A and B are shown apart, each in its own frame.
Chain A
Amino acid sequence: MADTLIRPPADAPPPVEERRRPPRVRKTPVTYLLRFIVTAYLFFLVAWPVSLVVTHTFDNGWESIRSLLEDPDMVVALQLSAYVAVWSVLINTVFGVGMSLLLVRYEFPGKRLLNSLLDLPLSVSPIVVGLALVLVYGGRNGWFGPTLAGWGFDVIFSTPGIIMATTFVALPLMIRELVPVLEEIGIEQEQAAQSLGASGFQRFVRITLPSIKWGITYGVVLTLARSLGEFGAVKVVSGNVLGQTRTATLAVEEKYLNFDQQGAYATAFLLAMVSVACIVVVGIIRPKNNH
């Protein structure tokens, strides 16, 4: 599903196939009708609402953003969001590469099952994710929670829990990016390297890693966008303690419910900026890989 973000660049030269075949689309009234319907639909569903948030944020100029950044609790929330996102990206990158290699290079029983189950985090409700983590790692009566708490390690209602929830929901993005790339590059080069006496580690660092470099980059960007924006799962596991376990997304809800619309819109604006930036970055760097 991560490849839902694949799209041809806006201003890149047309792909070879299209040059061979000049556009010969007939313009009929239907063409214009369809064009109009689609544009209107997207305008009312996405463009207008999003632009309203921007205008609401700047109702008083930069004032609302400045006051947001001066609020110590808000700064902590933003820092926490960033911290959690970075950890989630790190964990998903390391294990994502491992899992992808496992899925592409090795045959083992249950591989198809594992492959299907990997999509689960994308289709399961974030609330269910949160509930599941509480049931297993909850401090009072989870399966492993009391043991871990005995070692002085609280998961739920503290930062590790938030990181786990975020990692969970963003898990498939990296793997779905890497598996097609790994399948395409094959193993001939590595076999050649092996025959020349390269060790496993050398082969990975010198051959595999450079060829999946771009795949990893998209994976990181997508994971980052998803991690910063996670709300439902974090809400269940974090406990939402002001200044401690409240992330930026939780702060948006809190502010809106407390009639601090300016603050809510400003926070939403910051988060939206990051996600739009991520989309644009993916759009810009992806085509380079194809040429």
Chain B
Amino acid sequence: MIWFSALVLIPLAAVVVTAIDGGWDVFWTTITNGQTAAAIKLTVFTAAGVTAVNVVMGPLIAWVLVRDRFWGKSVLEVLIDIPFALPTIVAGLVLLSLYGTDSPIGIDIANQRPAVFLAFLFVTLPFVVRMVQPVLEELELDVEEAAASLGASRFTTFRRIILPSLTPAITAGAALSFARGVSEYGSLVLLSGNLPFKTEVTSVRILSSIENDNVAGAAAVATVLLAISLAVIVVLDLIQRRVAARG
């Protein structure tokens, strides 16, 4: 307990306290400052967009991995986990090698907004897939067959039988990928160029505040990110309790 407090709770509390120390005015002017506000907006919107893509692609990938059988499937399994285990800075470099200035396929999005989107997409890939996969494996084929034998079309079966049981897993995965997207830093350093107002995300903004010795400002922005993380954790907890209650 003490160890956990010393390492995690006290430092995080210090961030909030430092932010409050500056007073509400400082806090407000910092986060409404043009550049910071632009960074926060970009981060949140991009993370939301990426989460939307993941909500569609994640279950799709999980579906193929669970229900389909074909040669090379195990390679795909490994590919899913790579973004999770790869150091984020390496992830940035990896993406830069295909979508950067000397791209072999002629797509150069380095230092542009799509780069931020792409980086988020890469690092958040495993979350929805890995949340949905076990649930899909547990799902009984019999129920679907029963539905089909009662005359339900494949689409109806999917919408009425499969989707409802996957929803908690999808939501949990989406929450995690949103949180990860908002807090992403490492993969963007090389890829996005961190141009103010254009491709600068919140984490980068905090770091530049720290480097300029503007600790109060950094703490204020960090508090915003902390609040988002906490919100995500509360959402996850609520989902878990709902699932547990349903049995």
Q: Taking the complex as formed, is B245 at the interface, i.e. its CB lies under 8 A from any CB of chain A?
A: no
Complex: chain A residue closest to B102, CB-CB: A261
Q: Are B97 and A127 in touch, CB under 8 angstroms?
A: no
Q: Taking the complex as formed, is B23 at the interface, i.e. its CB lies under 8 A from any CB of chain A?
A: no
Q: Are A53 and B4 in touch, CB under 8 angstroms?
A: no
CB distance from A255 to the nearest CB of B (A): 10
Partner of A123, one of B76, B176, B189: B176
A residues 155-173 touching B (CB-CB < 8 Å): 164, 167-168, 171
Q: Taking the complex as formed, is B159 at the interface, i.e. its CB lies under 8 A from any CB of chain A?
A: no
Complex: chain A residue closest to B178, CB-CB: A123
Q: What residues of chain B lie closer than 8 Å to A34, measured between beta carbons? A: 60, 63-64, 68
Q: What residues of chain B lie closer than 8 Å to A136, measured between beta carbons? A: 10-11, 14
Complex: chain A residue closest to B7, CB-CB: A168
Q: What residues of chain A lie closer than 8 Å to B176, measured between beta carbons? A: 1, 122-123
CB distance from B241 to the nearest CB of A (A): 9
Q: What residues of chain A lie closer than 8 Å to B12, measured between beta carbons? A: 120, 124, 128, 132
B residues 1-56 touching A (CB-CB < 8 Å): 1, 3-4, 7-12, 14-15, 18
**Residue in B98, B190, B219 with the greatest tally of chain A CB atoms within 10 Å:** B98
B residues 63-106 touching A (CB-CB < 8 Å): 63-65, 67-70, 72-74, 76-90, 93-95, 97-99, 104
Complex: chain A residue closest to B141, CB-CB: A21
Q: Are A134 and B210 in touch, CB under 8 angstroms?
A: yes
A–B complex contacts, Cβ < 8 Å, 23 sampled: A5-B81, A11-B74, A46-B79, A52-B94, A95-B4, A99-B4, A117-B8, A120-B12, A120-B229, A122-B179, A124-B229, A125-B222, A126-B186, A128-B225, A131-B210, A131-B215, A135-B18, A136-B10, A231-B88, A232-B185, A268-B87, A268-B93, A283-B78
Q: Taking the complex as formed, is B174 at the interface, i.e. its CB lies under 8 A from any CB of chain A?
A: no
CB distance from A285 to the nearest CB of B (A): 14
Q: What residues of chain B lie closer than 8 Å to A7, measured between beta carbons? A: 77, 81, 133
Q: Taking the complex as formed, is B206 at the interface, i.e. its CB lies under 8 A from any CB of chain A?
A: yes
Complex: chain B residue closest to A42, CB-CB: B79
Q: Taking the complex as formed, is B125 at the interface, i.e. its CB lies under 8 A from any CB of chain A?
A: yes
Q: Are A124 and B183 in touch, CB under 8 angstroms?
A: yes
What does the 1/0 interface line of A272-288 toward B look like (CB < 8 Å)?
10011011100100000
Partner of A272, one of B76, B90, B99: B90
**Residues of B in contact, count (CB < 8 Å):** 86
Q: What residues of chain B lie closer than 8 Å to A265, measured between beta carbons? A: 93, 97
Q: Are B61 and A38 in touch, CB under 8 angstroms?
A: yes
CB distance from B97 to the nearest CB of A (A): 4
With contacts A34-B63, A35-B70, A123-B229 taken as known, whether A279 is within 8 angstroms of B10 at the C-beta atoms is no
Q: Which 5 A-B pairs have the closest CB atoms?
A: A229-B87, A125-B183, A10-B74, A132-B11, A4-B130
With contacts A25-B67, A120-B229 taken as known, whether A230 is within 8 angstroms of B185 at the C-beta atoms is no
The complex places the Cα of A135 from the Cα of B17 at a distance, in Å, of: 10
CB distance from A39 to the nearest CB of B (A): 7
Where chain B touches its partner, the secondary structure class is helix
A residues 231-266 touching B (CB-CB < 8 Å): 231-232, 235-236, 249-250, 252-253, 256-257, 264-265
Q: Are A256 and B206 in touch, CB under 8 angstroms?
A: no
With contacts A48-B98, A128-B15 taken as known, whether A271 is within 8 angstroms of B63 at the C-beta atoms is no
Q: Please tell me the size bucket of the interface on A.
A: 35 or more
B residues 175-217 touching A (CB-CB < 8 Å): 176, 179-180, 182-186, 189-190, 202-204, 206-207, 210, 215
Complex: chain B residue closest to A48, CB-CB: B98
What does the 1/0 interface line of A107-147 toward B look like (CB < 8 Å)?
00000101011111111111111111111110000110000
> In the complex, given contacts A35-B70, A52-B98, what are 16 additional A-B residue pairs having Cβ atoms less than 8 angstroms apart?
A34-B60, A38-B61, A45-B125, A117-B9, A118-B4, A120-B8, A120-B12, A120-B230, A123-B232, A124-B226, A125-B183, A128-B226, A131-B15, A131-B210, A275-B87, A283-B78
Partner of A232, one of B15, B61, B186: B186
Q: Are B60 and A38 in touch, CB under 8 angstroms?
A: yes
Q: Are B60 and A37 in touch, CB under 8 angstroms?
A: yes
Q: What residues of chain B lie closer than 8 Å to A283, measured between beta carbons? A: 77-78
**Residue in B72, B78, B93, B233 with the greatest tally of chain A CB atoms within 10 Å:** B93
Q: Taking the complex as formed, is A56 at the interface, i.e. its CB lies under 8 A from any CB of chain B?
A: yes
Q: Taking the complex as formed, is B170 at the interface, i.e. its CB lies under 8 A from any CB of chain A?
A: no
